Structure 1
Amino acid sequence: MKTTTIKQIIYAVSVGLLLTAVSCEKWIETDFPNNQLPTELVFEDEQTAEAALAGLYSSLWSNSLLSGGVEGFGLLGGLYTDDISTVYTPGINGVSDIYYNAQIPNNSVVTNVWTNAYQQIYACNSIIEGVRNSTSLSQKVRDRITGEALFVRSMLYFYLQQIYGEIPYTDTTDYTINSQLARMPENEFMTRIETDMSEGANLLQESYRNAERIYPNRYAAILILAKIKMLLNKNTEAEVLLQSVIQSPLYSFQNDLAKVFQKGGGHILWQLKPGNANEATKEAVLYNFTAAPLSFMVNTDLVGQYSAADLRKQQYITAVTFQSQTHYKVSKYRNLAGNNPNEYSVIMRLEEVQLLLAEVLIQQGKVAEAVNLINKTRLRAGLAALSTGLSAPAAMNELRIEKRKELFAEQGIRFFDLKRWGMLDQLTGVKPNWKPFHARWPIPNKELLINPKLNPQNEGY
């Protein structure tokens, strides 16, 4: 297959040069993760460099924003918006406060999300520096490892910025620089990670280095790059990037709804593999209950969005009746421990690419083309096709409904969508505690105490 660079993908579009060095003011605590190797031991040969990268992926599975468990933004973003509910009462733990929109700066979830992500960003920086300073790695290996680390770092930064607003940016492990970090203005920050993700995409290959797609390739980076461009209102550039993913022969639409969350599909861009053979995904464990719900369930507001004819109401959601009460569990992942031959945690899939492309097409007046993309998931779900003659506002409304029904409880997509659309305040109809300032979480109190230059605290906290 002919290799395509980002510059070729977006033709004459320039993504700019890396911005000037960070001019910041104090320190973020970023202890090196326990499952990582220190830089000076890592890059003597390819095997040890790979071990550091493997440790990074292990931490993504276990305790990152991408994790399918209680640490991940698939759950946290769903709780924070209107997709997931909890049996926990107000004030019982940090997670319940996220659901009730009652988080404060010393909330344990608010703190752990920040701390874990910056530890993993530090690990990425250490890997990039180690590769840069290595004299033994081949150029091909250097490019791949650097590309993967840039991809992970930029994706984590993307999440953090959407959750907290203005945050610090660092691309080094140098204490003298990190000790002076402050929060970077949003536009400068987004342009910085746009440049980083573009570099990462150019370093990565189109082909996967593992047939199970458990490591990101160029197109995974292109997807995040397109999301960044959408936030920067660069819809034309985002369209070209998203089209390149859809047109790649690597990907094919999964027509069988029952197989969407099985690991072997051609619609998967990137997924995380459980640590042990036959181990359940974190999502399968998190949402499982057979009587009264144990912790989390589907929000009844979301259940009400599905018509009786929508096959996803049976495939993605399972009704559980206990003592005359019916609750609904997320059943996108079904295999439990000891009996999981075919499910990994899907981080990116083609359906999201298609619906993002539909959005930027509508924004540019290409409504009929966008509706055809929306119809792909509708038809698979047993619903009638929408008319290609819809107005742009009507098509956008249908897109919003379709994205929620198709992608709920996945990577916080609902939160990111509502925020991008300027529609977070519609949550007041479902969540009485919602206030406009909840569009951002508070900066953790621990970080403000360590580094007063991170002040002022986000409005409302």
Structure 2
Amino acid sequence: MQFYHRYIKRFLTLGIIGTAAMTSCKKDLNYTPEVFVAQPQVFKDQAGATAAVTGIYTQLQTLKRSDYALIGVVGTDEARCTYQSRGYGDYWANVFGLDVYDIKFNSQNYQLSGFWTDCYLGIANANAAIAGIPNASIADPTVKSRLLGESKFMRGLFYFYLVQLYGDIPLRIETTPYSAGVKRSPANEVYNLIVSDLKFAVANLWVKSKNPDVGRASVEAAKGLLGKVYLTMGDYSDAKTIFEDLINNNGLTLLPDYSQLFDGQHENNAESLFEIQYSLDANNTQGLQNLFGSYAGPGIPYETFNTHTPGYGGSVVITTAYYADTLFDQTNDKRYKASLWPHRYDGSGNTMDWWVDPGLPTFRKYDISTTDIDIYNSGKNLYYLRASDVYLMYAEVLNELGQTSQALTPLNKVRNRAGLQNLEIAWGRTPTQGELRTELLEERSRELGGEGWRWFDLKRTGTLVARVLQHDNPRPYYVARNGSGDAHPAQNISAINNLYPIPLSELQTNAALTLTDQNPGY
């Protein structure tokens, strides 16, 4: 197999990008900063255009490699920040604000503004590629179309994040100078661009089985994301069509063992539709165990994968009591032990189950193995889309269309892989539409917990405020042990938090906006 190591410099304006390429024995799609060169030089030929498109993936890697990855995870019913994390300093108090929606959940929050900026940097990269590729000297027109398809897939991905989080947003496209002021466009116009971009990607990308450069977007990834966009828009008919096309015509499959998804030994697997690529090369690692980890000391057994976890975790994020205690069938659901780790350890490997927030497990999906460097430098890929997500979205679409009995088929594929009976057998009857709606929301958490989709699922289903108020709290006995329970502040979430605040930096620097363009309530 051919492997490529891309050297890409992050975009700062539309007119500049840095590229170089060399052979590597590592993963197929890695990214490392290099030098700036002028845009015409980048898009001179196929090699330059390909390297430029690779640079777009860099911003997604940045979004998911560190604390930005907590957006979509904390402040939900499945994960929350630990009490002690708010004492780590002002920066981490901003992270804590994402969980409890307190005074730090504002337009100057580092996480919210940083996430916004990195998404628009990715969009700037994509816009430059979309403008430059048509003029590149590329002999094969299908290659030119594929590179455009990758660029539009990534632009659609970044805009999908932004429109869900912030609502009406500046719609910057290839003909818009990035330095120019741009007004907020209605969310429906943003969705129209996303759909158009993803349709183009579906028509022009490689199918996964014929993609020689693993890590690049495929037809399957574009179909899966387009279906997710339709579902989010409430366009169930088009979502049904694209999901059925993907399931019936693209060989969608699940790995036989759920734990294999997170052991670091089955990356870019048959179930995966799109992964964010990492390696142990400099600047290509991710450090999520530091956020999700379990204070594992050297030599601590990692029972599910029969290996050991060196290092420890910063214990910034833990599961909620709802996720850890209530959500799973802890005896029969194989995902339970693969998803949670119930213990804490000091540097000598001694258990610390008396620690603050006692007994609340951490997520173990991000734990490093002996092949990684340390908790800050793991080469494990991260999932963006996988087949089980598609099956559950398809079930949701069918249920919303009134086809509740038919919706059980894709749902049961996911349940059966987890070691559970068909839902109708377990319940002794077919659920009603309303019952299945609730069950699917819970099943998505069991299957995709800690993977970054929960906030978006709760918002899409109109349940964000209610479920966070109900479940994002300490266990009752923790409150009892710690007096009034003020160690973990009460939730401040309300309806305004269905949108994030527009960053103050955008309101101040975008000439087309003023402070009055802020989302309501902020």
TM-score, normalisation: structure 1: 0.85
- Helix, strand or coil for the counterpart of 1:433? coil
Tell me how far 1:260 sits from its aligned partner.
2.3
In structure 1, C-alpha distance between the alignment counterparts of 2:204 and 2:190, rounded to whole Å: 21
In structure 2, C-alpha distance between the alignment counterparts of 1:377 and 1:83, rounded to whole Å: 19
Q: Which residue of 1 aligns with 2:292?
A: 287
Query: Does the 8 A contact of 1:110 with 1:441 survive in 2?
Result: yes
Query: Does the 8 A contact of 2:49 with 2:136 survive in 1?
Result: no
Tell me how far 1:231 sits from its aligned partner.
3.0
C-alpha spacing 1:140/1:369, structure 2 compared with 1 (3 Å): same
In structure 2, C-alpha distance between the alignment counterparts of 1:333 and 1:212, rounded to whole Å: 25
Note the 1:250-269 alignment, pairs <5 A.
Answer: 250-261=251-262, 262-269=266-273
Note the 1:25-40 alignment, pairs <5 A.
Answer: 35=33, 37-40=37-40
Greater RCO, 1 or 2 (C-alpha within 8 Å, sep 6+)? 1
Tell me how far 1:101 sits from its aligned partner.
0.9
Tell me how far 1:109 sits from its aligned partner.
1.0
Count matched residues: 426
C-alpha spacing 1:187/1:55, structure 2 compared with 1 (3 Å): closer
Query: Does the 8 A contact of 1:229 with 1:238 survive in 2?
Result: yes
Pick from 414, 434, 457: which aligns with 2:518?
Answer: 457
Quick check: 182-191 or 76-85, which moved more? 76-85
Tell me how far 1:192 sits from its aligned partner.
2.2
Query: Does the 8 A contact of 1:121 with 1:156 survive in 2?
Result: yes
In structure 2, C-alpha distance between the alignment counterparts of 1:300 and 1:33, rounded to whole Å: 46
- Helix, strand or coil for the counterpart of 1:77? coil
1:447 to 2:506 alignment? yes
Q: Which residue of 1 aligns with 2:338?
A: 315
Tell me how far 1:138 sits from its aligned partner.
2.7
- Helix, strand or coil for the counterpart of 1:142? helix
Tell me how far 1:116 sits from its aligned partner.
0.9
Q: Computing the radius of gyration over CA atoms, which structure comes out larger, 1 or 2?
A: 2
Residue type of the alignment partner of 2:66: G
Residue type of the alignment partner of 2:90: I
1:435 to 2:472 alignment? no
C-alpha spacing 1:122/1:173, structure 2 compared with 1 (3 Å): farther
Residue type of the alignment partner of 1:96: F
Q: Which residue of 1 aligns with 2:465?
A: 425
Query: Does the 8 A contact of 2:46 with 2:136 survive in 1?
Result: no
In structure 1, C-alpha distance between the alignment counterparts of 2:17 and 2:118, rounded to whole Å: 9
Query: Does the 8 A contact of 2:391 with 2:410 survive in 1?
Result: yes
Residue type of the alignment partner of 2:74: L
Q: Which residue of 2 aligns with 1:367?
A: 404
Note the 1:146-157 alignment, pairs <5 A.
Answer: 146-157=148-159
Residue type of the alignment partner of 1:423: T
Note the 1:72-83 alignment, pairs <5 A.
Answer: 72=69, 75-83=70-78
1:296 to 2:299 alignment? no
C-alpha spacing 1:453/1:206, structure 2 compared with 1 (3 Å): same
C-alpha spacing 1:37/1:434, structure 2 compared with 1 (3 Å): farther
1:239 to 2:234 alignment? no
In structure 1, C-alpha distance between the alignment counterparts of 2:53 and 2:336, rounded to whole Å: 39
In structure 2, C-alpha distance between the alignment counterparts of 1:168 and 1:337, rounded to whole Å: 44
Query: Does the 8 A contact of 1:166 with 1:184 survive in 2?
Result: yes
In structure 2, C-alpha distance between the alignment counterparts of 1:400 and 1:283, rounded to whole Å: 25
- Helix, strand or coil for the counterpart of 1:271? strand
1:336 to 2:369 alignment? yes
Tell me how far 1:408 sits from its aligned partner.
1.5
In structure 2, C-alpha distance between the alignment counterparts of 1:44 and 1:211, rounded to whole Å: 23
Residue type of the alignment partner of 1:49: A
Query: Does the 8 A contact of 1:151 with 1:221 survive in 2?
Result: yes
In structure 2, C-alpha distance between the alignment counterparts of 1:334 and 1:136, rounded to whole Å: 43
In structure 2, C-alpha distance between the alignment counterparts of 1:37 and 1:210, rounded to whole Å: 28
Note the 1:91-110 alignment, pairs <5 A.
Answer: 92-93=90-91, 94-102=94-102, 103-110=105-112
Query: Does the 8 A contact of 1:122 with 1:173 survive in 2?
Result: no
Query: Does the 8 A contact of 2:81 with 2:99 survive in 1?
Result: yes
Pick from 397, 420, 430: which aligns with 2:438?
Answer: 397
Structure 1 vs Structure 2: percent identity of aligned residues? 25
1:225 to 2:226 alignment? yes
In structure 1, C-alpha distance between the alignment counterparts of 2:397 and 2:462, rounded to whole Å: 15
In structure 1, the gaps of 5 or more residues are 1-28
Q: Which residue of 2 aligns with 1:84?
A: 79
Note the 1:180-195 alignment, pairs <5 A.
Answer: 180-195=181-196
C-alpha spacing 1:38/1:276, structure 2 compared with 1 (3 Å): farther
Query: Does the 8 A contact of 1:78 with 1:414 survive in 2?
Result: yes
Tell me how far 1:121 sits from its aligned partner.
0.3
In structure 2, C-alpha distance between the alignment counterparts of 1:68 and 1:368, rounded to whole Å: 40
In structure 2, the gaps of 5 or more residues are 1-11, 19-32, 297-312, 345-351, 473-490
Q: Which residue of 2 aligns with 1:271?
A: 275
Query: Does the 8 A contact of 2:295 with 2:315 survive in 1?
Result: no
C-alpha spacing 1:312/1:425, structure 2 compared with 1 (3 Å): same
In structure 2, C-alpha distance between the alignment counterparts of 1:416 and 1:137, rounded to whole Å: 42
Q: Which residue of 2 aligns with 1:14?
A: none
C-alpha spacing 1:444/1:202, structure 2 compared with 1 (3 Å): same
